[in-house]
């Protein structure tokens, strides 16, 4: 058996998410169908992160095993031909050691969240940003975001459907940057709770809108109770950006 690693970009708008499901079109499902045609065998692909419906990816990473030793370049080209016209692009394929696993070998995952902050709606970025018409106070959001850094109980930002054993996570970065009409959230951690990034962004936006003070945000966070938290940001603004592994990045 030969193990392979691939990096994938996709627009999540028309997918039910990364994970294969019985009642929807998934990114994992489309890639596994393409691989079965190319390799003439049924293969299970493991992803570094399970993005929800509508969430996009610049650098999702996946791994899989094949009986045959195949050329990575030809595999990439075949993948992209077979998944067309779905909004999926395989950026690279490479052979890796048998102990590599896209999910379990990951040292760090990075997400980006995008907000378009202007009166006029998005045309070119439709389904790819959260459009907010009201001006946002980025400085207040930055101040609140600093409270989240480090190791904490993130129950306030945890989905009721989350299957993680513990709500305690370590957040390594949450940087907020305004670039013209766009506001970007850069978030890094080894792992995340279900909907954690979207729930954090939604609560920070409430600070930016003046609905909450930084103190209100802090009290909600310390309550460790999802019902005390803010809204869940739309999936369309979230991007799985990259994965870091020991000695390299995905």
pLDDT of residue 242: 97
State pLDDT tens for residues 205-240. Answer: 999 999 999 999 999 999 999 999 999 999 999 999
DSSP for 94-108 reads: EEE-TT--TTTTEEE
Residues 6+ apart with CB under 8 A from 126: none
Residue ranges of the alpha helices (H) in the chain?
27-39, 72-83, 138-145, 196-208, 214-223
List Cβ neighbours of 17 (8 Å cut-off, separation of 6 or more): 24, 26, 27, 50, 51, 52, 53, 55
**Who has greater pLDDT, 23 or 88?**
88
Q: What is the β-pairing status of strands 130-132 and 238-245?
A: unpaired
- For the segment 114-133, the average pLDDT, to the nearest whole number, is 97
Phi first, then psi, for residue 228 (nearest 5°) are: -90, -10
Q: Where in the chain is the domain with CATH 3.30.70.660?
A: 107-244
For residues 19 and 12, what is the distance between their CA atoms, to the nearest angstrom? Answer: 12
Which CATH class name applies to 2-104? Answer: alpha beta
Nearest to 188 by CA among 73, 122, 107, 124: 107
Q: Does pLDDT of 250 surpass 70?
A: no
The mean of the pLDDT values for the chain is 95
Give tens-digit pLDDT for 128-183: 999 999 999 999 999 999 999 999 999 999 998 898 999 999 999 999 999 999 99
Considering the chain, tell me which residue range(s) the CATH 3.30.70.580 domain(s) occupy: 2-104
Annotation: CATH topology of 107-244: Alpha-Beta Plaits (3.30.70)
Determine the pLDDT at residue 38: 87
The Cα–Cα gap between 205 and 210 comes to 9
Is residue 22 part of the annotated active site? The answer reads: no
Contact 212, 225 (CB under 8 A): no
pLDDT, residue 68, reads: 86
Extract the tokens encoding 134.
Answer: 């009201």
Residue 21 pLDDT level (bands cut at 50, 70, 90): confident
Marked catalytic residue, from 11, 52, 71, 98: 52
């Amino acid at each position: 058996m030969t193990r392979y690693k691939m990096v994938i970009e996709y627009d999540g708008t028309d997918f039910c998410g990364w994970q294969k499901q019985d009642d929807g079109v998934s990114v994992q499902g489309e890639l596994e169908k393409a691989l079965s045609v190319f390799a003439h065998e049924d293969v299970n692909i493991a992803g570094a992160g399970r993005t929800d419906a509508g969430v996009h990816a610049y650098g999702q990473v996946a791994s899989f095993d094949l009986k045959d030793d195949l050329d990575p370049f030809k595999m990439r080209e075949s993948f992209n031909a077979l998944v067309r016209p779905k909004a999926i692009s395989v950026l690279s394929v490479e052979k890796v050691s048998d102990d590599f696993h896209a999910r379990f070998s990951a040292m760090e995952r990075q997400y980006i969240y995008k907000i378009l902050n202007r009166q006029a709606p998005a045309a070119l970025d439709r389904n790819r940003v959260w459009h907010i018409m009201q001006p946002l106070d980025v400085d207040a959001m930055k101040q609140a975001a600093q409270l989240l850094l480090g190791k904490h109980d993130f129950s306030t930002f945890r989905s009721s459907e989350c299957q993680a054993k513990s709500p305690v996570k370590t957040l390594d970065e949450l940087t907020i940057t305004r670039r013209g009409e766009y506001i970007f959230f850069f978030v890094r951690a080894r792992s995340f709770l279900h909907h954690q990034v979207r729930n954090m962004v939604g609560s920070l936006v409430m600070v930016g809108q003046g609905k909450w003070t930084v103190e209100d945000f802090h009290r909600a966070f310390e309550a460790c109770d999802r019902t005390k938290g803010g809204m869940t940001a739309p999936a369309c603004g979230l991007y799985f950006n990259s994965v870091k592994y020991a000695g390299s990045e995905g």
